[in-house]
Chains A and B, each alone.
Chain A
């Protein structure tokens, strides 16, 4: 039984356009939220309030590029913001984060550089990486469903679904359907593969088109805020009092 060649169902150019459209939808969604939703304007206003609460100055001089780089490597890449929330949350987020990044990179590389290479196991390196990405997302994401703070701390049922769950659920659906598609592909059934594509493509599109209304955008906002906080810290600017140098605990 040979795997189905998806290029016979939908040509490579379709996928190039599809990925491009999703990227544009994501960007437009973000702009709609940040500009239309006045979040960028608020961010600027908040900067002004923050600096005046800090005593007016811009603080010490700081090399922004260095801070950005450092934040990305030591904070964003390691989900360090979640360290204080407990190990489970941080680990589960790391799985989802790297699974998502891996999956996106592999898909983009495959679609634009290796359209002829099949992304299913055990055919190719791309296939291995894509499966790995999907697995990381699946494990981290399923775990996360129980870690959602309304479930873990407010006694909500894990099956309770609200708008806040749109991103995590579409992400998980995307991972699951990705495996379903792979299975259909490997089974050799064209019909099964067509059906699987008919599910996988809309769900993936939905994930990117729902950016203005889902928690997808946290990727950008949390990232931006983490960088801004590091810059503020380096500058010595804060709405909070400075940490104490001394301890009052008698050993």
Chain B
């Protein structure tokens, strides 16, 4: 197949374009329709909205719910919690905003049909932990997708968006996006008055722990390919906390969830000698990282740090003692449902290795790093907050708008607002959508224009890997070894090795320094140049090629941010061996970056961290 065969070009105009049909995208569609009754709202998704995104399998808990109705928590409590967990560096305005709205999102989910588990004694939702409630969440995504499909004017499935388009007349204003159908290869040009990017964070940037067939077993979805960042960075949006990568402690190999085990079932993690270790190193940690060690609960990254110290001392395997907590059939069922609702692979680990959780413990491991904005870390776009909460320098007109006019973000796209999870991401989609509706109405007299030359150039670029293959394959008899082109999977593996060895992957024990980072950047830039020589045999590989592009942009941001922050702020996520301590004096700030698409230069800067909640 080649670009010479005529490929249809579809033009889709809308008021609001939502890129990505995951939790955040679905929230955006719903809310946009509520406020923009007559607007044309288009949602575009590279897979199928019914199961797309990180919640494909389902979830066994909603991890962000205040329970204000039962006086369980207030939004201020949530801000303090996330601030402590992120070692002080969060956008408190964004967090407060999510926390004050998320309960209405969850109640809406329940009305839609999501089965939430109740505590029979209190009549409240059954708490897994302070912020988490238990659900029967196998169909969480289909339920949410149904609401979005009833809201959007059109949902385009199987269209991969590759680039955002900027307005040809006004600088720094978004105008739409381009992409292609992964089914029939046709080209799509989307034009919109406002764009909400609700695409994925990034996996397969760092070498994963399983590398054969098991490369698919990343903890976060393998189809979260950093498109949120790849799209925004190239459009010139300011990014924040790209160095704040997430390393999660999960069940080994299957990466099954531990939340229900730790919080609801009260299982304990111990080293191979049966010793609890989580608090073992608090005083050493205090010397390096300050009084953040006193945050309650104990910060996630410091728990990782303790576990890593145990592993380095050779006191692993680290076990989660499931056998000590499954004393009733109900608890056993809860433990199994925890996996079957959201990570069936872990059930398969038990079944295949003859592990009965009632009889023996299971191993824990620390994952490879991921880049995302919705979980315990918050990499992503620097965005405006809500007018009634944000300090002046955190607000510039519209909630969740990035530094590019008319370009909004939600979910993993937005930086600085951690611990949102599924319900918070959906809520953030709602926030972004309401603001986007207002933006469209406020700018009703202006319709951005796309530059047809730029669109045509992009069209050729998008299909280039197919051309590269068709021509270049004539050099070799058969196979995948060519001196003149690179397959997407070969590129991913090279990227993963660079990041693992130079940018603090698990193979480096999550440690890096300036020399390693600079060398890694040098190699990454050569990979970035080689992206021009990607080859795709078919549309599936073409999709993989553009996912690699987005991953490489994400990785570049990660390295630049990691270089810039001269301290170790989040031990257990990564360490700077040349700056091993936390340095609040100099680095109690956000590290932000902006790529200028015209000059192709990166600008690094810092932004103040404002404490809004006491």
**A interface residues, Cβ below 8 angstroms from B:** 153-155, 248
Contacts and interface: CB of A to CB of B under 8 A. Distances in A.
6 contacts: A153-B183, A154-B183, A155-B181, A155-B183, A155-B184, A155-B185
A155 B539 CA distance: 11
B115 interface: yes
Interface of B: 115, 181, 183-185
B181 A248 contact: no
A154 B185 CA distance: 10
Nearest to A157: B184
Contacts of A248: 115
- Going nearest first, the 7 A-B pairs with the smallest beta carbon separation are A155-B184, A155-B183, A154-B183, A248-B115, A155-B181, A155-B185, A153-B183
Nearest to B186: A155
Contacts of B115: 248
Contacts of B181: 155
Secondary structure type dominating chain B contacts = loop
B407 to A, nearest CB: 30
Nearest to A156: B184
Nearest to A248: B115
Contacts of B183: 153-155
Contacts of B185: 155
Contacts of A153: 183
A154 B181 CA distance: 11
Q: With a 10 A CB-CB cut-off, give which of A153, A154, A155, A248 has the most chain B CB atoms.
A: A155
B376 to A, nearest CB: 32
Nearest to B539: A155
A205 to B, nearest CB: 35
Contacts, number: 7
A248 B181 CA distance: 38
Contacts of B184: 155
B10 to A, nearest CB: 13
Contacts of A155: 181, 183-185
Nearest to B115: A248
A21 to B, nearest CB: 40
Nearest to A153: B183
A248 B114 CA distance: 11
A154 B184 CA distance: 7
B521 to A, nearest CB: 39
A248 B115 CA distance: 9
A155 B183 CA distance: 5
A153 B181 CA distance: 12
A153 B115 CA distance: 32
A23 B115 CA distance: 58
Nearest to A154: B183
Nearest to B184: A155
A54 to B, nearest CB: 16
Nearest to B181: A155
B514 to A, nearest CB: 49
Nearest to A250: B113
A155 B157 CA distance: 13
Nearest to B113: A249
A154 B183 CA distance: 5
A109 B410 CA distance: 70
Nearest to B136: A248
B156 to A, nearest CB: 14
Nearest to A249: B113
A162 to B, nearest CB: 14
Contacts of A154: 183
A153 B158 CA distance: 11
A182 B52 CA distance: 54
A248 B183 CA distance: 36
A246 to B, nearest CB: 13
B385 to A, nearest CB: 39
B58 to A, nearest CB: 15
B186 to A, nearest CB: 9
A53 B510 CA distance: 43
A226 to B, nearest CB: 29
B203 to A, nearest CB: 26
A155 B115 CA distance: 37
A247 to B, nearest CB: 12
B127 to A, nearest CB: 22
A63 B338 CA distance: 42
Q: With a 10 A CB-CB cut-off, give which of B181, B184, B185 has the most chain A CB atoms.
A: B184
B48 to A, nearest CB: 11
A154 B158 CA distance: 10
B252 to A, nearest CB: 26
A44 to B, nearest CB: 25
A155 B540 CA distance: 12
A110 B183 CA distance: 48
A153 B184 CA distance: 10
A76 to B, nearest CB: 32
A155 B542 CA distance: 15
A146 to B, nearest CB: 14
B110 to A, nearest CB: 12
B82 to A, nearest CB: 34
A55 to B, nearest CB: 15
A36 B181 CA distance: 42
A141 to B, nearest CB: 24
A202 B185 CA distance: 39
A175 B319 CA distance: 67
B183 to A, nearest CB: 4
A49 to B, nearest CB: 15
Nearest to B182: A155
A126 B185 CA distance: 49
A250 to B, nearest CB: 9
A82 B185 CA distance: 29
A209 B181 CA distance: 40
